[in-house]
Amino acid sequence: MASDPPLNRTLVPLLTSPGGSLSDDDAQFLLVPIHIVTHASQLPAEFLYPSVDRQLIIGFDCEGVDLCRNGALCVMQLAFPDAVYLVDAVEGGKALMQACKPALESSYITKVIHDCKRDSEALYFQFGIKLHNVVDTQIAYSLIEEQEGRKRSPDDYISFVGLLADPRYGGKSYLEKEEVRVLLRQDPAYWTYRPMSEMMIRAAADDVRFLLYIYHKMMEKLNKRSLWHLAVRGSLYCRCFCINDNDFADWPRLPTLPDILAAEGYVPEEEILSVLNVPPGKMGRVIGKKGASIRSVKECCNAEILIGGAKGPPDKVFIIGPVMEVRKAEAILRGRMIDL
């Protein structure tokens, strides 16, 4: 099936653009087509058939209704240097998503994404896809901040809007994002409507068209140790909400320490994901009034602590970090569940 000529186009930053900030000068951008994909044949062959000889780096995101295990993934965005592909999971259905499965699980295709947790959960529970080999720009941002001596406070996660506004990674305002947020609040089924409106197409493309540029700016800053931690934490975040009965035995193995770091004598503490079951009626104790209890645990443990919340699962706490810090967080949280 031949792809129809694209009706929409967008501007992507040239990877050779000087400095960190992007001006509105068109010379810093390349006009590329936006392809609406409803059949696998409309996607590049090098994406559908991953190969060690043709490794790719792509921008990646998903849109949907209440995006999680129980929601509905509606659009998957893929940003290549010369085109943006909007994979229509509503029109293309499971057949189209299954055609994308090898690429999304491949070690040969790097998926650059901002906050992979819920996207990974939706892909896993709705389509059986184990998202692998991601570069999560939210994690990368935190690692760069640590490298440069700035300490992040608990729950101080940078949003994609905030990241893009940072002069080091674009210096671009993303005011249109709020337009879509307002529409989503008014109508949660916004991403299900077909044909996609011009605003839907623009919003979907906007969420990925800067990702490759941001990726290259971050790669210039991350040292070898941070790159290692980025790979491990990205893998753990992909697994985070995708709990199963076999302790992730069917998922790709976590990245091993590169030889160059081992040769330098670097011995990092193992980082793990722990899933803590919370008995009925005890989640209030874990969280505390206005989140005070869980916040105090985060402040004393060097680990990420995540609650399933409204999207679920509602009875579990997810802890990611070095083994000793994770065990400390587990012990404190279990203590708060005990009846006095």
In this structure, what CATH number is given to the domain that contains residue 84? 3.30.420.10
Q: For residue 17, what pLDDT band results from cuts at 50, 70 and 90?
A: confident
Q: Residues 170, 276: contact at Cβ < 8 Å? A: no
Q: What is the pLDDT of residue 5?
A: 60
Question: Within this chain, do residues 190 and 299 fall inside the same structural domain, yes or no?
Answer: no
Residue of 25, 21, 29 whose CA lies nearest to 168: 21
Give a yes or no: residue 254 inside a domain. Answer: no
The string over 151-168, giving b where at least 16 C-beta atoms fall within 10 Å of a residue's C-beta and e elsewhere, is eeebeeebebbebbbbeb
Tell me the per-residue pLDDT of 163-205, one tens digit each, with 9 for 90 and over: 999 999 999 999 888 889 999 999 999 999 999 999 999 999 9
Average pLDDT of the chain to the nearest whole number: 93
Question: Within this chain, do residues 222 and 82 fall inside the same structural domain, yes or no?
Answer: yes
Question: Within this chain, do residues 52 and 103 fall inside the same structural domain, yes or no?
Answer: yes
Question: Within this chain, do residues 233 and 185 fall inside the same structural domain, yes or no?
Answer: yes
Which tokens in the block code for residue 196?
Answer: 């996609």
Number of domains in the chain: 2
CATH, residue 289? 3.30.1370.10
Question: Within this chain, do residues 220 and 147 fall inside the same structural domain, yes or no?
Answer: yes
Looking at the chain, list the stretches that DSSP marks H as alpha helix, in order from N- to C-terminal side.
45-48, 89-104, 117-127, 137-147, 160-165, 176-186, 198-206, 211-221, 224-239, 259-263, 283-287, 292-300, 323-337
**For residue 152, is pLDDT > 60?**
yes
Question: Within this chain, do residues 231 and 324 fall inside the same structural domain, yes or no?
Answer: no
**For residue 154, is pLDDT > 80?**
no
Structural domain that includes position 233:
8-239
As a whole number, mean pLDDT of residues 283-305 equals 92
SS3 213: helix
Give a yes or no: residue 46 inside a domain. Answer: yes
Give a yes or no: residue 138 inside a domain. Answer: yes
Give a yes or no: residue 244 inside a domain. Answer: no
Q: Can you give the pTM of this predicted structure?
A: 0.95
- Number of neighbours of residue 69 by Cβ within 10 angstroms: 19
Q: What is the pLDDT of residue 63?
A: 98
**For residue 135, is pLDDT > 90?**
yes
Question: Within this chain, do residues 179 and 328 fall inside the same structural domain, yes or no?
Answer: no
Give a yes or no: residue 197 inside a domain. Answer: yes
**Of 239, 259, 290, which marks where a domain is finished?**
239
* Distance between CA atoms of residues 316 and 288, nearest Å: 15
The alpha carbon dihedral of 60, 64, 204, 155 has a sign of negative
Tell me the per-residue pLDDT of 197-238, one tens digit each, with 9 for 90 and over: 999 999 999 999 999 999 999 999 999 999 999 999 999 999
SS3 72: strand
Question: Within this chain, do residues 216 and 277 fall inside the same structural domain, yes or no?
Answer: no
As a whole number, mean pLDDT of residues 137-165 equals 91
Q: What is the pLDDT of residue 18?
A: 73
Q: For residue 338, what pLDDT band results from cuts at 50, 70 and 90?
A: confident
